[in-house]
Structure 1
Amino acid sequence: MAARIPRKIAIMSQEFNIQPNIGTALRTFLHSQYFRTPPYPTHSFANQTVIVTGSNIGLGFEAARHFYRLNCAKLILAVRTVSKGETAKEDIVRSVKHRTDGFEAIEVWPLDLSSTQSTVSFAERVKSDLSRVDIVVENAGINSTTWQVVEGFEHVIQVNVINTLLLALCLLPKLNETKSKYPESTPHLEIVSSEMHRYTKFPQVNSPDIYQQLNDKSAYDGTDRYNVSKLIEVLFVRELVDRLRATSTSGPPPVVLTLVNPGLCRSNLDHHMNVVAQWLLYGFRLAVGRSTEVGSRTLVYGACAGPESHGEFMSDGQNQRVEPWIYTETGKEVQRKVFEQTMRVLDGRRSKGVKPEWGVDLGSY
């Protein structure tokens, strides 16, 4: 009889039973959207080098404009299409009137997170070409309900999880080096996450191999995949920070790692989705969403947050608790399992002609 039970249902009864509190999540979300507006950023980024991925449009573009307006010394626009990045650069330079050095201060570098080679090549260029890196804002991501496989992994997971985290680990040594060379700097590594981590039961975690299950087309739920990707980001970063704390001396962290929720914005995040879904979400974003400029303020706050935000989830420029089940013993077990299996996937990329080096002790996995 058990063999006749669909796999999606069968795995739900095993090991972990995650039950998100949808009502509370919705109330938190709506309160933020309607009653909280992050203040206009004024923090100075003078002398700092800032990298923003996915910065030719939307949140990343507006955040990049803020960083340049706030006097960062060098700004790297990391984009899939260089010509579009150059157009974004021209717009930023034209709009920030008090600076005249934009064509030297802003550089456009190619980065395609669907490609492991592109991701690692970008990281290697950062290490070799930049004397310092003070801020990395990993904003690039996709939302799609259409099944697609890239390099053996479902597309959303490949971009939002695997290569986003691969880039983070590859750049962490450079951020640590910056702290050593420039003690006055507090480097930041920021993953742009989402409230949507609250809305999934994450059934794949009950599989012996999470990523094998995520790559099973017969068990694919496109409406939940973005949520799952954002939950994995949250769990991985929290466990990463726990492990880094366990291997470091007392005192402030050399690099502040943050998870930042920009809220629902009127952006083009959904352009990978089918036309019907795009129109439905467009209407919802129009009714509830904030502008990409307002949403981008949260990215700026995450890039200058204090050590109290290390490993924390930030909304509207302030620390916010993640979904409650994550703090339970079950949550700790899920977090550990996600981290260990993700690290095995990332380590597996070393055998594909690329040699990512973490430069930090992450313990056994």
Structure 2
Amino acid sequence: MVGSKDLKPSTRSFASIFYYNQFKAEPNWPSPNEDLSGKTAIVTGGNTGLGFEAASQLLDLRLSYLILGCRSLERGELAASKLRKQHPAARIEVWLLDMISYDSVQAFARRVDTELQRIDYVLLNAGLILMNLTKAPGTGHEQGLQVNYLSTMLLALLLLPTLKAKGPPRAPGQEPAHLTIVSAALTLAAKFPNRDANPLLPSFNDPKTFDAQEHYHSNKLLAHMFLWNLVDYVSADDVVVNLADPAWCKGTGLSRDASAPLRAGAKVFGALTGRTQRVGASCFVDALVNKGKESHGCFLMSWQIHPFASLLYTPEGHVLIQRVWDETLAELDFAGVRKILESMKS
């Protein structure tokens, strides 16, 4: 199989990539005959925006059991009640998941392992952009780094053994469980200004160098670097792991923490160039349902396998990939992630 890291880096400008994404790319909708009856899916951050829309689209395909992982049970239940009205035959539950907290992430993963008999799809959608540096209680990390990268990678790692053990029954033509992590095309434009910091991850917490936009680009890029090595431990026959970009979408609320002028600007920009949430969320459903083992370890953009950011293919990028891998495993050592990775190879 040819994955993203086996491709040649793109030579197109980000402007041309953005234009194609927003105005030229054609959605790849599931087949009208696609039937997810009997299957179970988890969507984190599924109470609003693209997560909610992706959950709705999975239910439209007759998904039997949906779990929304939400920081607020109250807001999660409001979202679930809407979905239950539209899909009364489906079982829809809201489970507590606060991506700011390692304890909450671990508790959620344990619940998945102990309470679910089967798991087919996981969409790790929870994410945020903060305009000001705010640190996560308990870890001291900048919250964007915590939510978009560290906690997301921890949850992915913790869920892998469960997905392998409780995925779809192994049979000819049967796909394994899928785990899709929400990414962003903006990773291709990341400047990664703190790349020379040593150690690297703590440098994201420095208020002197904090740049909201660049930190978002870079902490999303970290997931690309981590996935580069992760596929050496996880077989596509056990779990398909990929990254999916929804492109720029209007009305998602991702910039809700921004100042009023910035929010207004984002709203106008979205109105002029943004995809609808329905089209944006279809990228996630495509990664989960349409794509098969060929997408393992890949960055999916505009419903196609795309190269990672050009930096990753350079000698400097290879050094950074290894540093990110080593520092991330050291950060998450408390959860036994190295043993998990070794177990996935057996």
C-alpha distance 155-198 of structure 1, shift in aligned 2 (>3 A): same
Secondary structure of 1:270 counterpart: coil
Question: Does the CA-based 8 Å contact 1:146-1:274 persist in structure 2?
Answer: no
Question: Does the CA-based 8 Å contact 1:120-1:356 persist in structure 2?
Answer: no
Aligned counterpart in structure 2 of residue 229 of structure 1, from 219, 223, 228:
219
Q: Give yes or no for the alignment of 1:128 onto 2:128.
A: no
5+ residue gaps, structure 2, are 1-8
> Mapping of 1:294-309 within 5 angstroms?
294-304=279-289, 305-309=291-295
Output the CA distance in 2 between the equivalents of 1:173 and 1:362.
Answer: 8
Q: CA RMSD in A?
A: 2.2
Aligned counterpart in structure 2 of residue 314 of structure 1, from 300, 313, 330:
300
Question: Does the CA-based 8 Å contact 2:225-2:321 persist in structure 1?
Answer: yes
Aligned to 2:24: 35
Output the CA distance in 1 between the equivalents of 2:168 and 2:60.
Answer: 27
What's the TM-score, normalizing by structure 2?
Answer: 0.89
Output the CA distance in 2 between the equivalents of 1:121 and 1:182.
Answer: 28
Aligned counterpart in structure 2 of residue 271 of structure 1, from 249, 252, 256:
256
C-alpha distance 314-145 of structure 1, shift in aligned 2 (>3 A): same
C-alpha distance 275-362 of structure 1, shift in aligned 2 (>3 A): farther
Aligned counterpart in structure 1 of residue 210 of structure 2, from 214, 220, 225:
220
Output the CA distance in 1 between the equivalents of 2:230 and 2:259.
Answer: 35
Aligned to 1:335: 321
Secondary structure of 1:52 counterpart: strand
What's the TM-score, normalizing by structure 1?
Answer: 0.84
5+ residue gaps, structure 1, are 1-19
C-alpha distance 170-140 of structure 1, shift in aligned 2 (>3 A): same
Aligned to 1:62: 53
Secondary structure of 1:51 counterpart: strand
- Alignment-mate amino acid for residue 221 of structure 2: L
- Alignment-mate amino acid for residue 94 of structure 2: V
Q: Give yes or no for the alignment of 1:282 onto 2:263.
A: no
C-alpha distance 270-26 of structure 1, shift in aligned 2 (>3 A): same
Superimposed CA distance per residue, residues 153-209 of structure 1 (whole angstroms, 9 cap, x where no aligned partner): 001001101101110001011001024855545101110000011122212221110
Q: Give yes or no for the alignment of 1:139 onto 2:125.
A: yes
| C-alpha deviation, 1:54, in angstroms | 0.5
Aligned to 1:9: none
> Mapping of 1:116-195 within 5 angstroms?
116-150=102-136, 151-179=139-167, 182-183=170-171, 184-195=174-185
- Alignment-mate amino acid for residue 270 of structure 1: S
Secondary structure of 1:141 counterpart: coil
User: When the two structures are aligned, how many residues end up with a matched partner?
Assistant: 328
- Alignment-mate amino acid for residue 260 of structure 1: A
Question: Does the CA-based 8 Å contact 1:37-1:294 persist in structure 2?
Answer: no
| C-alpha deviation, 1:86, in angstroms | 1.6
> Mapping of 1:93-104 within 5 angstroms?
93-96=84-87, 100-102=88-90
Question: Does the CA-based 8 Å contact 1:170-1:357 persist in structure 2?
Answer: no
Secondary structure of 1:271 counterpart: coil
Output the CA distance in 1 between the equivalents of 2:39 and 2:12.
Answer: 41
Question: Does the CA-based 8 Å contact 1:32-1:316 persist in structure 2?
Answer: yes
Output the CA distance in 2 between the equivalents of 1:56 and 1:342.
Answer: 28
Q: Give yes or no for the alignment of 1:80 onto 2:65.
A: no
Question: Which structure is higher in helix share?
Answer: 1
Superimposed CA distance per residue, residues 113-165 of structure 1 (whole angstroms, 9 cap, x where no aligned partner): 01111111111111111011111100010011211011310010011011011
Q: Give yes or no for the alignment of 1:361 onto 2:342.
A: yes
Aligned counterpart in structure 1 of residue 100 of structure 2, from 99, 103, 114:
114
Question: Does the CA-based 8 Å contact 1:138-1:164 persist in structure 2?
Answer: yes
Aligned counterpart in structure 2 of residue 25 of structure 1, from 14, 19, 27:
14
| C-alpha deviation, 1:303, in angstroms | 0.5
Q: Which has the larger radius of gyration?
A: 1
Output the CA distance in 2 between the equivalents of 1:253 and 1:229.
Answer: 29
C-alpha distance 81-255 of structure 1, shift in aligned 2 (>3 A): same
Q: Give yes or no for the alignment of 1:260 onto 2:244.
A: yes
| C-alpha deviation, 1:37, in angstroms | 3.2
Output the CA distance in 2 between the equivalents of 1:49 and 1:129.
Answer: 12
